[in-house]
Structure 1
Amino acid sequence: MSAQPKFDKPWKSIEDYLAGELDSDLKHEYIDGQIYAMTGGSINHERIALNMATELRNHLRGKPCEAFGSNVKIKTDRHVFYPDAMVVCNQNYPSEYYTDSPVLVVEVLSKSTRRLDETVKRRVYQSIPTLLEYVLLEQDIVDVEICRRSEGWVSNHYFLGDEVHFQSVGLTLSVADIYARVDNDDVRTFIAVQQAAKDTQQA
């Protein structure tokens, strides 16, 4: 989802933002005093985000950690974001509407959010003491980027045919599962190659 400025006012308190969000029909993010309205994502964006949230939720069923989709906020001292998916293991939530202690955060990139996700959000998320992994998922191509605290936040990239291990929750997924039903050139080519190989074996 993309963020657009909502107010011309130079600064708004985080308390006022949180109170206003309870009465708002639209979602907004809070970035150091500024409020940004969230716009809807594409079908591919929703497919990827839902694939991740569903896989995480299924994997964590009956375990102490809990997965959330894009309706629960992450709050720091000066920022509030709606990640596309996340996992929380400390369930002493400071509010029923947000957490401040995710261990895994997932954002699906788009043209309108790329700069924010790769700069401001990356910096803010990685400053959260509990965070172990930050995941960035392309939607126009297939590219899974994972930055892990244990590796000094160095970027690791995974592509179709690869498997990805999410250390923070002990889950291994294929990139193909993350991009299931997604319609882009990379996925179409991958499916065509797989089908050609299957046809060859059956011939």
Structure 2
Amino acid sequence: MTDPAFKLISVEEYLRSERDHPVRHEYVDGFVYAQAGASRAHNVITSNIHVALHGPARKAGCQVFQSDMKVRVTPPAAITRTLWWRAAAGRTTTTPKRNRA
């Protein structure tokens, strides 16, 4: 029997295999996905997002990484929404103000 095409691996296995691998990978829920090289348009977009998030994140005591960093984020959607909302609103508070009637 051959190995399955997709094999669950641990975080430790992933980090160990990435040390000397020429291709970058993303680790999501036990699965590893190769990442393609970025285009010029991709780099322009990520640069703009990084610039927009940097100030608000720094004021909130956070850091923004544009690329080439291995980070563990839990839960990703909540953090992404919070930082994006802060940057879009130009605010550094952790919760949005609610309208009070």
Pick the structure with more strand per residue. Answer: 1
**Structure 1, unpaired ranges of 5+:** 1-6, 74-97, 102-123, 134-147, 149-165, 174-203
Q: Partner of 2:21: helix, strand, or coil?
A: coil
Q: Partner of 2:22: helix, strand, or coil?
A: coil
TM-score of the two chains, using structure 1 as the length reference: 0.34
Kept in 2: contact 1:29–1:35 (CA 8 A): yes
Query: What is the aligned-residue identity percentage?
Result: 28
Structure 2 residue 79 is matched with structure 1 residue 131 = yes
Q: Partner of 1:29: helix, strand, or coil?
A: strand
Report how far residue 39 of structure 1 moved. 0.6
User: Which residue in 2 is equivalent to 1:158?
Assistant: none
Report how far residue 38 of structure 1 moved. 0.6
User: Which residue in 2 is equivalent to 1:100?
Assistant: 73
Query: Per-residue displacement from partner, 1:116-160 (whole Å, max 9, x unpaired)?
Result: xxxxxxxx733xxx5260xxxxxxxxxxxxxx7xxxxxxxxxxxx
Report how far residue 58 of structure 1 moved. 3.9
Report how far residue 27 of structure 1 moved. 1.2
User: Which residue in 2 is equivalent to 1:53?
Assistant: 50
User: Which residue in 1 is equivalent to 2:37?
Assistant: 40
Quick one: which amino acid aligns to residue 76 of structure 2? Y
Q: Partner of 1:16: helix, strand, or coil?
A: helix
Structure 2 residue 73 is matched with structure 1 residue 64 = no
Q: Partner of 1:12: helix, strand, or coil?
A: coil
Aligned equivalent of 1:14, options 11, 15, 23: 11
Q: How does 1:1-203 map to 2 (within 5 A)?
A: 8=5, 10-61=7-58, 63-73=60-70, 98-101=71-74, 125-126=76-77, 131=79, 133=81, 166-167=84-85, 169-172=86-89
Quick one: which amino acid aligns to residue 73 of structure 2? D
TM-score of the two chains, using structure 2 as the length reference: 0.60
Pick the structure with more helix per residue. Answer: 2
Query: Per-residue displacement from partner, 1:161-190 (whole Å, max 9, x unpaired)?
Result: xxxxx43x35447xxxxxxxxxxxxxxxxx
Structure of higher RCO (CA pairs closer than 8 Å, 6+ residues apart): 2
Number of residue pairs aligned between Structure 1 and Structure 2: 86
